[in-house]
Structure formats: structure tokens, C-alpha cells
A = this chain, B = another copy of it.
Amino acid sequence: MQIGLIGLGKMGGNMAERLRRAGHDVVGYDRDPAKSDVGTLKELVERLEAPRAVWVMVPAGGPTQATIEQLGALLSAGDTVIDGGNSNYKDDQRHAAELGTDGIGFVDVGVSGGVWGIEYGYALMVGGEDEYVHRLMPIFEALKPEGEDGFVHAGGVGAGHFAKMVHNGIEYGMMQSFAEGWELLEASDAVTDVPGTFKSWRHGTVIRSWLLDLLVRALEEDPDLAELKGYAEDSGEGRWTVQAAVDHAVPLPAITASLYARFASRQDDSPAMKMVAALRNQFGGHAITS
């Protein structure tokens, strides 16, 4: 089928390519004219036959907001907008409502797969009404990995991004778990072949996983990770997961610990620990009236 795709960066560009290989007609738009099939969003919309489907694959927040607003002005009743970026699920409700007043459908999709997606497929978590999701199934089929898994229509509007958000929260916790175990192995003298130990875990153990495969690869390239700085950014999803948990009174200690470890990794010096140090100074210091 025909689809418009806005945002032809690393993710969007590869997705366009995978869709084309599957025989779909992709009209791509990007701010970079060298990548773009059309000069403007208006032109993109004009190139598509109604009912149109336009997949937005731009950074979450401002850029997505602006793009969806522009599309709302350009599209017609019966068209569908798909937000495949890393948007907050709370934004989806608003977008669906705004587009809905003009009869335009909205579907949110959490997309996982990174740079391997073009070859192996993208895991898709989809939120939206059956009517719109159904119409897009040929696109989803082309993007998802082979086999029965890698796709879910998780629920109504927002469910796709919510599911992806939780996926990323789980990912934080799994990464942190491996990282903590590695730090302990490195800190102790007991195990002398740490990379070999990680490698051994790839078969027959409870913790075998794709993340472990990646770690083995990383340790092969740099056995002590000596060339890396202990610094980790966090994407919005980790924060939103914790905030959603607090909203719902769900205790999330391991995932939150993983997020906080990233926050701390970006501090040159911990302000909180300054205060602890200040207290320890006071203990050992001068008399104070109580």
C-alpha cells in the first residue's frame, strides 16, 4: 500500500527501505532535501491518495507536536496519522482528540529494533482503534520480524507508547542487573576470567538473552571496558516509567534504581554526598548547642 513517512533519519530511513523491499509505495519527507522525496509536507500530502496514511518518525516532544499539528491542517477526514516516535503516552490522547475533531484517525506505535531492524524487522507495539489499526496491517506486517511474535495491538490510543515505555523500563533494569554483576566480578579477585564467564552464560543459563550477547561482544572488543566512561544518558521512557508508577502507586524499586544510577553517572560530584560529608565534618568538629 501507499504510505507517507516523515523523518528519514537512521530509524525512519531504514524503515522506509524495509517497506519498499516489501513492495510498498513510500513517499518520504525529511528536513534534509537530499533525503526527501518531496519538498514540503503539503506536497507529501498531495502525493498521497485518500484515504492517506502518514507515519511520523521524528524526535518526541516539540518536533512531533509540530508535525502532527501541521498534518492536522493538511489531511482530511478518513486519513490516518501514525506516531512511531518515542512519544509520551499522555501526548497520544491529546493528539487523537485533536485529529479526531477533523475525522482523522490516530495510531501510536512503539518501535524497537535499532540498527538491526532493517534486516531482522522491528518489534511493533500498537495502540489505537481497530478500524485504523486494521487498515495499516500490511505496513505492520512488512515492518515486523518474521514469525508470530514482534507485533501486538496492545490496546486503544496510547497503548503502543505505554507498552514501549514499559519495555524500556524493563530494559533499564536488565542492563543495570548485568552491570552490577559485572562490577562485583571486577571488584573481587575470585573470578580471573570475567569475559569468559559472561561468554559461558550464553548457553544453558537462566540469564541468556540478547543483552548478554551484546555484552559478550562488548567485552571481546574491550575486556575491561577501559575505553569507556561510566556515563549513561537516559531517554524519556525511563523517566516516564517511574512517573507512571508513582501515579499508579506501583513500587518499582529495581527500575528506579537503574534510572537513578544513570542520573548519578552524569554528576561530576554528588551534591547529596557533599551534605553527608558536611555532616561528618560537623560530628568531628566544634561544640554545638543542642
Contact = CB atoms under 8 A, between A and B. Distances in A.
Contacts of A257: 253-254, 257
Interface string A202-213: 111111111111
A70 interface: no
Given A112-B205, A206-B112, A214 B283 contact: yes
Interface stretch (A1-9, A30-38, A76-84, A153-161): A153-161
A37 to B, nearest CB: 26
A206 B264 contact: no
Contacts of A261: 251, 253-254, 270, 272-273, 276
Nearest to A116: B287
B167 A254 contact: no
A185 B119 CA distance: 30
A217 interface: yes
Contacts of A66: none
A261 B267 CA distance: 13
A151 B197 CA distance: 8
A278 B218 contact: yes
Interface stretch (A49-57, A98-106, A122-130): A122-130
Interface residues of A, number: 139
Most buried by B among A89, A176, A261: A176
Given A270-B230, A288-B116, A290-B213, A275 B225 contact: yes
Q: Which secondary structure dominates chain A's binding surface?
A: helix
B278 A228 contact: yes
Contact of A260 (B190, B196, B252): B252
A280 B231 CA distance: 10
B192 A156 contact: yes
A269 B145 CA distance: 37
A97 to B, nearest CB: 16
A277 B186 CA distance: 16
Interface in A230-283: 230-234, 239, 241-267, 269-283
Contacts of A69: none
Q: Sort A-B residue pairs by CB-CB distance and give the 8 closest, nearest first.
A: A173-B177, A209-B209, A123-B204, A152-B200, A230-B273, A253-B257, A251-B260, A155-B192
Given A155-B193, A229-B274, A230-B277, 20 more contacts: A115-B283, A115-B284, A123-B203, A154-B197, A159-B192, A162-B188, A167-B201, A169-B177, A169-B181, A171-B206, A175-B276, A177-B255, A179-B275, A180-B253, A215-B282, A217-B282, A228-B281, A251-B261, A253-B256, A262-B273
